[in-house]
Structure 1
């Protein structure tokens, strides 16, 4: 409590007038001594046996109190006065009342912002309230403690856990020093416990500070957005968002980091698909260099290595592409621990496609066969509809196309049918892979003379192309020509059958 000075003259007057009743002691804050003197007086005047003896100690006691009053009221001495402290009221009268009135207005604004769930605005207002409390009270005070508690709770709602923790800990320190009411201390303790739990969750996500947590949230948001753009086929927007994710991950890591490697690899592949080879090669090479600098395993190198192989293949550098594809195969098999995975299937498919494009059909067939073995193992382990359906279908179509070029229709047909079955499981058969399979099945049926079966496949091809790639006019025109050709032959056959004389 705040000390309150007492006037010595008035104290001596009370000693002279009401000393036997302890009036001077009550005035100077010695309530126990005053009560003892009053009790002795009351007992001495009660008329009870031996009551007069109770008055005997009073006279020497009052003589001693002359010196005691002098000590208690001499200059520099402060007497602690007990009393009831009103919450939110200043204990001295010399505070800046205008500043207090302004602080009260800010508190009303804080409450309004909190009720509106506008916690960012609430933090700004609470900062102003705390600054005002520090200026007004110039030391530990209940108002300052409660202002710090308000600021801490608002910071917690904004997930500014470090700032919330600092303010709540200061609030509790002041509360213990000034004897803050228990209910207020409990509020601050509970808020601090929630804040510490939030800090624990933040650290579990890999962020040590509030700044890192904000960057991590921003990075996750950009990842989600560029994946959505990629799923919608909007490659330019996906590339732009991925580039922003690369920049954010650099800022988050403060240099080389796994997140930077991951997003650089994704950015390289997006640039390749957009046919920006120079930009894609720079990103892929940086991802590989950073993976080596960090000592990351082959699972981090396989993506950018595969992108570089595709770039070299597209540029006609077959030898370089072949070497990189072989490295990709080795990495994928090592990553799968000698087993099978989509990465292994993709690596063999890419190398086989390179061989087929360069006219090395025997090598291509061997690679496709090995990819098919791994695909069969995946099917046994996970089921027909598991894994990357688009990858599996394209690999089967590529292998079947190679066999079809050799007129091995018996080998190609079941591969196309299996590709269609996979697409039926994954997307009800509505895809470009399914359109390609139907087109080639139609060509084989036409070559075998099964025109009705060929017409059915060509019609399905046209429908799927209209749905999946309506802007690919060459595919649409080719499918329509096949339909017209087969329909014309069927019409001629039917007409010939009608004109043929019966026997």
Structure 2
């Protein structure tokens, strides 16, 4: 039996993944044997009589070939001796190679699904298997390390990615890995180093910090999605996880913790978990003072505390805090106009309206409207929902005084804003249509009133299908106006002609 100058490790790999086709025999120069194995496989899969017997013959032949490959590559004449003198031979475990091949298929599937935590875990198993199989530097081990490094990069574990890719390049240089594979590893390292620089610029200095930042970003994104769908319970859970991740990331007081505490306090307030909301807002303010941050950081938790005081009937405390938020918002806008300024005036105006101080409420709403006009003149879109609610609140104040001429343009402007932002499908639009319907009904324009009430009913059914009271009220308004119109029509038909 003549020795083959082929690599034994690759021969075992071919036996593990393509032995049924005789791939290992073709590779080692045994063309007759390879053709025989391929013929047995073809006959076994043909479905002819006795075909299974061909497969039964092929299986023990492949088992024997484990020993045959060893003999073919290790114990052969002068060429084998010469090759042994050139480089030490290694006895690779074919079972280990088969396991590595299966793991690689799982790695590819995880990467295609963008499941990078799973891909990294599988990549680590592949590297561990390759180390056990090859017992030293090898091209397959180098490429496995490169794969692991690229998966770690996608997971933003940059330091781990850098270590894996650098080891891949070191092994590649030692074993003479092909230039195209070395280029892949070099490009992966360059991208990883750029990621490390970007990560360091953002304030994270380690793999653990990078993973925590990734976790924090994920929780924030999912929390915003839950809020967009109105799922406050799920948003609160994700918000609590974001607070915990930010604490671990900063290891103490930090801007990320302040930001998450302020957001969590507002979530708890909306859920009416007032004690938890107040505690989180106070902790955020204390941490802001400890870090020496400016008033732009104080405005959010201060506004939350003001809302909590207002809800608890502590009007004086709420008023003082609202005035602070106005001063902070104006200072942050550098004397100009912004959503924060509009929101601050709107909140204080609403507090005055609820406490019966209508003159003060009118003044605050007017100030908010001035800032909204300035934003419109500067083509600043801003928060459409905030603007619509502020206009509705101002219109409600004027309606309470039966100032219909002053209220109507506010509601119409609110509807125009909602039409631009969400095609008029919102609770703010429903409220505006309802109040315009009431104005039209009071003025005797029943057809116009019916149109607005029907729109209110439809929007309530779309936007708040579980608010049965609102839907029932809108339906009642539609029915009442419809009955009056029907009665008027009947009376017109019964009146004798002249």
Match of 1:362 among 356, 359, 364: 359
Alignment of 1:253-268 (within 5 A): 253-268=250-265
- Once the two structures are superposed, residues 20-46 of structure 1 have per-residue CA deviations (whole angstroms, 9 ceiling, x without a partner) of xxxxxxxxxxxxxxxxxxxxxxxxxxx
Match status 1:273 vs 2:270: yes
Partner of 1:113: 103
Match status 1:494 vs 2:494: no
Q: Over the residues paired in the alignment, what is the CA RMSD in angstroms?
A: 2.9
Alignment of 1:169-188 (within 5 A): 169=166, 183=179
Q: Secondary structure at the match of 1:382?
A: coil
Match of 1:154 among 121, 145, 148: 148
CA offset at residue 182 of structure 1?
A: 8.0
- Once the two structures are superposed, residues 190-225 of structure 1 have per-residue CA deviations (whole angstroms, 9 ceiling, x without a partner) of 554343234234334443222221111111111111
CA offset at residue 347 of structure 1?
A: 0.4
**Alignment CA distance shift 1:196-1:149 (3 Å):** farther
TM-score (norm 1): 0.73
Q: Quick check: 1:419–1:434 contact (8 Å CA) kept in 2?
A: yes
Match of 1:418 among 396, 406, 413: 413
Match of 1:101 among 75, 92, 98: 92
Q: Quick check: 1:106–1:125 contact (8 Å CA) kept in 2?
A: no
Q: Quick check: 1:127–1:151 contact (8 Å CA) kept in 2?
A: no
Q: Within 2, Cα distance between the matches of 1:171 and 1:498?
A: 93
Q: Within 1, Cα distance between the matches of 2:123 and 2:394?
A: 64
**Alignment CA distance shift 1:85-1:371 (3 Å):** farther
Q: Within 2, Cα distance between the matches of 1:204 and 1:253?
A: 15
293-302 or 281-290, which deviates more:
293-302
Match of 2:404 among 409, 432, 436: 409
Q: Within 1, Cα distance between the matches of 2:398 and 2:82?
A: 94
Match status 1:445 vs 2:446: no
Q: Quick check: 2:145–2:168 contact (8 Å CA) kept in 1?
A: no
CA offset at residue 237 of structure 1?
A: 0.5
- Once the two structures are superposed, residues 212-262 of structure 1 have per-residue CA deviations (whole angstroms, 9 ceiling, x without a partner) of 211111111111111111100111011111111111111111111211111
CA offset at residue 303 of structure 1?
A: 1.0
Match status 1:391 vs 2:386: yes
Match status 1:428 vs 2:428: no
Alignment of 1:129-208 (within 5 A): 129-130=130-131, 142-143=137-138, 147=141, 150-159=144-153, 160-169=157-166, 183=179, 189-208=186-205
Q: Quick check: 2:372–2:387 contact (8 Å CA) kept in 1?
A: yes
Unaligned runs of 5+ in 1: 1-83
- Once the two structures are superposed, residues 463-494 of structure 1 have per-residue CA deviations (whole angstroms, 9 ceiling, x without a partner) of 22222222222222222232232223323333
Partner of 1:282: 279
Q: Quick check: 2:130–2:140 contact (8 Å CA) kept in 1?
A: no
Unaligned runs of 5+ in 2: 1-80, 111-118
Larger radius of gyration: 1
Match status 1:228 vs 2:225: yes
Match status 1:300 vs 2:297: yes
Partner of 1:123: 124
Partner of 1:476: 471
CA offset at residue 86 of structure 1?
A: 6.1
CA offset at residue 121 of structure 1?
A: 1.7
CA offset at residue 166 of structure 1?
A: 3.2
445-454 or 487-496, which deviates more:
487-496
Match of 2:206 among 173, 189, 209: 209
Q: Within 2, Cα distance between the matches of 1:376 and 1:105?
A: 75
Q: Secondary structure at the match of 2:491?
A: helix
319-328 or 468-477, which deviates more:
468-477
Q: Within 2, Cα distance between the matches of 1:299 and 1:498?
A: 67
CA offset at residue 108 of structure 1?
A: 5.1
Q: Quick check: 1:465–1:476 contact (8 Å CA) kept in 2?
A: yes
CA offset at residue 453 of structure 1?
A: 1.4
Partner of 2:450: 455
Match of 1:382 among 372, 379, 384: 379
Q: Quick check: 1:313–1:354 contact (8 Å CA) kept in 2?
A: yes
Alignment length, in residue pairs?
404
Q: Quick check: 2:152–2:160 contact (8 Å CA) kept in 1?
A: no
Q: Within 2, Cα distance between the matches of 1:389 and 1:452?
A: 29
- Once the two structures are superposed, residues 261-300 of structure 1 have per-residue CA deviations (whole angstroms, 9 ceiling, x without a partner) of 1111111111111111001111111111112222222222
CA offset at residue 112 of structure 1?
A: 4.5
CA offset at residue 397 of structure 1?
A: 0.7
Q: Quick check: 1:149–1:167 contact (8 Å CA) kept in 2?
A: no
Partner of 1:219: 216
Q: Quick check: 1:458–1:483 contact (8 Å CA) kept in 2?
A: yes
Q: Quick check: 1:153–1:164 contact (8 Å CA) kept in 2?
A: no
- Once the two structures are superposed, residues 91-131 of structure 1 have per-residue CA deviations (whole angstroms, 9 ceiling, x without a partner) of 458xxx6xx434x6545543543354254323223135447
Q: Secondary structure at the match of 2:425?
A: coil
